[in-house]
Amino acid sequence: MKKKIDLAIFDLDGTLVNSLDDLGNAVNKALEEFGYPKHEMEKYRFFVGNGAAKLCERALPEDKRTPEETARLLKRFGEIYGENCFVLTAAYDGIPEMLEKLDLAGVTCAVASNKPDEFSQVVVSKLLDMKHFALVMGKREGVPTKPSPDIINNIISELGMKKENAIVIGDSCVDVQTAHNSGLECIGCNWGFRGEKELKDNGCEYIAYKPEDILKIILE
């Protein structure tokens, strides 16, 4: 990394925490209640990434993806997930240590997630230490989901930091596109939901194969 990075903006699901099973199980339970077929967990790797509403829309049978049915499934998913979001979800190995070292190096960290804001706050405070983050921002009413740059621009503005000294870190094409839409570079996390190929295909500038690699990219 040639330029100095003062702000690291992390995606949450698939980047800092592995939440796939709890998300998939909650949607599957809601689908089952509504009489729809469930999905193998592997499919949820490609259903997640664009927010809870899009997750529910993708999980529905194609001929049932109306706004009304998506909203109905989304409501029930939210109820189930709210009670079961910590059954299997955990921080990826090495993430807490990496965050601690960024702290010590003076790098400000933030979270930019498409997960609803209330869930984002709860997950970060339960599974990671809030002290590592100057700001945690999930999906909020009236703010477009990633890959819109709005959430990144809002974080940078709220923290009063310079865009040229920021970088985005995530695990999917959504994060790479969000970074580029914001005029930033992206570190892609190979351990996440989508993998190296998708990240590279979308022009991701750096690939991290373990959390320690993020330190090397940002600090060296």
46-61 per-position pLDDT tens digit: 999 999 999 999 999 9
Residue 55 contacts residue 14 (beta carbons within 8 Å): no
Closest CA to 112 of 77, 82, 142, 154: 154
The per-residue pLDDT for 3 is 85
Encoded tokens for 30: 């809601």
The per-residue pLDDT for 220 is 85
Encoded tokens for 149: 């740059």
The per-residue pLDDT for 164 is 95
Residue 184 contacts residue 152 (beta carbons within 8 Å): yes
| Distance separating the N- and C-terminal Cα atoms of the chain | 6
Taking CA atoms, 217 is separated from 82, 205, 209, in Å, by 35, 10, 11
Residue 152 contacts residue 9 (beta carbons within 8 Å): yes
| pLDDT tens, per residue, the chain with 220 residues | 678 999 999 999 999 999 999 999 999 999 999 999 999 999 999 999 999 999 999 999 999 999 999 999 999 999 999 999 999 999 999 999 999 999 999 999 999 999 999 999 999 999 999 999 999 999 999 999 999 999 999 999 999 999 999 999 999 999 999 999 999 999 999 999 999 999 999 999 999 999 999 999 999 8
The answer to pTM > 0.85 is yes
What the chain holds in terms of domains, given with CATH numbers, is 7-18+90-219 (3.40.50.1000), 20-84 (1.10.150)
Q: For residue 129, which phi and psi values (nearest 5 degrees)? A: -95, 120
Instruction: List pLDDT tens digits, range 132-142.
Output: 999 999 999 99
List of E strands, 78-212 = 90-91, 108-116, 135-139, 166-170, 186-189, 206-208
Instruction: Give the CA angle between residues 95, 97, 103 to the nearest 5°.
Output: 105
